[in-house]
Amino acid sequence: MAGDDSCKSVAIRIQQHLVIPDFLQSVSLKYVKLGYHYALKHFMYLALLPLLVAAAAEIGRVGRREHIWLLWESLHLNLINVLFCSAAFVFLATVYFMARPRRVYLLDFACYKPDDRYKCSMEVLEDFAAKSGKFNDASLEFQKKVVWRSGLGPETYVPAFVFDEPGTEPSMRQARREAEQVMFGAIDEVLDKTHVKPKDIGMLIVNCSLFNPTPSLSAMIVNHYKLRGNIKSFNLAGMGCSAGLISVDLAKDLLRVHPNSCALIVSTENITQNWYVGNDRSMLVTNCLFRIGGAAILLTNRTRDRHRAKYELVHSVRTHKGADDKSFGCVEQREDELGLRGVSLSKNLMAVAGEALKTNISTLGPLVLPISEQAIFVAHLVARRILHMKHVKPYIPDFKLAFEHFCIHAGGRGVLDEIQKNLQLGSWHMEPARMTLHRFGNTSSSSLWYELAYSEAKERIRRGDRVWQIAFGSGFKCNSVVWRATRNLDKPYRNPWLDCLHRYPVDMSAHASPSPS
């Protein structure tokens, strides 16, 4: 027995000696990687440090007074050269500051939160679909499964017509009422939060993909708020869920050529007249995912507003894959065999979105990634393309080194799963998108702002933090916008998450499993 115990103790000691080096090796590799990123990030400072030390030693050896006296003699004897050089410096500095693009700031934004009477649980949706008499049994079961697996919770919002008497057809008046409630509700809140007067708004950009009445939605806003007569007004239609970031890019271009201006962006989608009532499965998915929502965003280029702005616009990158027929037709508004209109989603949507994302980040990467990540990416590219080393896997840059926060369009659970896998993001980074999908559903172009509102409500945004907003849209488009926080953001006093924040994050594992029925 004593011999057995001694053998066991020896085995345990050997096992410990084998495990500890592996642990130390993983820790050392971790710190080697961190040291590598730090060294390249601060390479300029590390390279200049020896030169500064040498210069300081030389000044101490020769003597400070002698250098100052020689400098004064040089300036005294060359007064004309000094004046010429000073004038040239002032001229060049003036040209530089006048020619550089004006900085664009985000003063604040507001997300519309509908009344509680429009909340749509699974039971409400099933009851409406069954009583409408528009769907066969297979379509009813299909919609039920899609909603269960989609990641949507029981408190998303639907239009008022869902609660009307069965058989009531949505009208243009009801669609306008939905648009007014969403747009005016968000605008009222953002004007109240920023104390900006309607007459101070010089640019108005409204994006709504499927509902485009006459007069336009932008004209409705101009009429309601009595905006000034020379306002630059734009109404973007048919551009899908990425139209919100297209609006930001358009506002950026306008603000960089019109000084001392404010731009109001309104991002929304209208559900009332775009609810599909047929049995084509490719068009039924939109009924299960899209919900009421909207956001109003105030941008400015006024320097005096910088101290109270929340973010500064850093980059905007747009990618359009419409030249490819497969990409162009993967999201399409059309009529089914019975002439019923809806939005069809192709089966290759995920593949198209992946290609668009790859193209977009290949443009965005060099603008935001640290030089350390770019060096590794180039090394892998050379190994695969030039040296033909097939065993070397494609390198995916670590975008967590470039951004602290990610706002990814909450198009559906499948979309979020693919992006998380491709970008190698953690659950904390994906939390705003997944919780927005659960609480508000897919609100199209405004979903990114509900996600940013979630991060603000959680008090995660600190000064200098970088936020990456990325969205996909029909056509097919993939657009990115990068913001930098100008100050620490405390919990806002008005936010769509405040009444339910204590319940989030929620466990999404139940929505990943098949329906129990």
User: Is 439's pLDDT higher than 90?
Assistant: yes
Mean pLDDT computed over every residue of the chain: 84
How far CA 56 is from CA of 9, 46, 52, in Å, comes to 61, 16, 6
Q: Does residue 75 lie in a domain region?
A: no
Please, are residues 234 and 206 in contact by the beta-carbon 8 Å criterion?
yes
Q: Does residue 462 lie in a domain region?
A: yes
Q: Of 34-43, 78-87, 431-440, which one has max mean pLDDT?
A: 431-440
Q: Is 307 among the catalytic positions?
A: no
User: Is 360's pLDDT higher than 50?
Assistant: yes
User: Is 57's pLDDT higher than 80?
Assistant: no
pLDDT of the residue at 70:
58
pLDDT of the residue at 24:
32
Burial of 199 (0-12, 13-18, 19+ CB in 10 A): exposed
User: Is 390's pLDDT higher than 90?
Assistant: no
Q: Which of 111, 407, 409, 478 is catalytic?
A: 409
Q: Does residue 42 lie in a domain region?
A: no
Alpha-carbon distance 327 to 349, whole Å?
8
Read off the CATH number of the domain in which 124 is found.
3.40.47.10
**What is the distance between the terminal CA atoms of the chain, rounded to a whole angstrom?**
59
Task: List Cβ neighbours of 207 (8 Å cut-off, separation of 6 or more).
Answer: 235, 236, 237, 239, 243, 244, 246, 247, 265, 266, 267, 268, 445
Residue 206, φ and ψ in degrees, nearest 5: -120, 130
Q: What percent of the chain has pLDDT over 70?
A: 79
Alpha-carbon distance 357 to 327, whole Å?
12
Q: Which domain holds residue 438?
A: 105-512
The pLDDT confidence band at residue 61, using thresholds 50, 70 and 90, is low
- How many secondary structure helices (H) and strands (E) does the chain include? 16, 13
Q: Is 388 among the catalytic positions?
A: no
Which carries the bigger pLDDT value, residue 167 or residue 169?
Answer: 169
**Tokens 């001694």 found at:** 6
Q: What percent of the chain has pLDDT over 90?
A: 57
Q: Does the CA dihedral 154-155-160-163 come out positive or negative?
A: positive
Task: List Cβ neighbours of 216 (8 Å cut-off, separation of 6 or more).
Answer: 206, 235
- Please choose, from the candidates 362, 227, 222, 336, the residue with its C-alpha nearest in 3D space to the C-alpha of residue 281: 336
- Structure-token pair, residue 401: 């080194």
Q: Which of 274, 442, 479, 495 is catalytic?
A: 442
Mean pLDDT over 282-305 rounds to 94
Provide the 3-class DSSP secondary structure of residue 130: helix
Q: Which of 320, 429, 438, 511 is catalytic?
A: 320
Q: Does residue 62 lie in a domain region?
A: no
Q: Does residue 44 lie in a domain region?
A: no
Question: Half-sphere exposure of residue 475, counting CA atoms within 13 Å on the CB side?
Answer: 20
Please, are residues 495 and 453 in contact by the beta-carbon 8 Å criterion?
yes
Q: Quote the number of domains for the chain.
A: 1
User: Is 403's pLDDT higher than 80?
Assistant: yes
Q: Is 405 among the catalytic positions?
A: yes
- Please choose, from the candidates 93, 296, 49, the residue with its C-alpha nearest in 3D space to the C-alpha of residue 193: 296
User: Is 333's pLDDT higher than 60?
Assistant: yes
Q: Does residue 409 lie in a domain region?
A: yes
Alpha-carbon distance 107 to 485, whole Å?
11
Q: Does residue 79 lie in a domain region?
A: no
User: Is 10's pLDDT higher than 70?
Assistant: no
Q: Is 360 among the catalytic positions?
A: no
Q: Which of 111, 120, 208, 241 is catalytic?
A: 241
User: Is 443's pLDDT higher than 90?
Assistant: yes
Which carries the bigger pLDDT value, residue 512 or residue 484?
Answer: 484
Q: What is the pLDDT of residues 303-329, one digit of tens each?
A: 899 999 999 999 999 999 999 999 999
pLDDT of the residue at 511:
53
What is the H or E stretch that residue 113 is in?
none
Q: Which residue spans within 130-243 are E strands per DSSP?
A: 156-157, 203-207, 232-236
Q: Does residue 182 lie in a domain region?
A: yes
pLDDT of the residue at 513:
45
pLDDT of the residue at 195:
95
The pLDDT confidence band at residue 130, using thresholds 50, 70 and 90, is confident
The pLDDT confidence band at residue 517, using thresholds 50, 70 and 90, is very low
pLDDT of the residue at 475:
87
Q: What is the pLDDT of residues 260-284, one digit of tens each?
A: 999 999 999 999 988 898 999 999 9
Q: Is 409 among the catalytic positions?
A: yes
Q: Which of 111, 405, 478, 511 is catalytic?
A: 405
pLDDT of the residue at 516:
39
Residue 326, φ and ψ in degrees, nearest 5: -65, -40
> What's the whole-model pTM score?
0.82
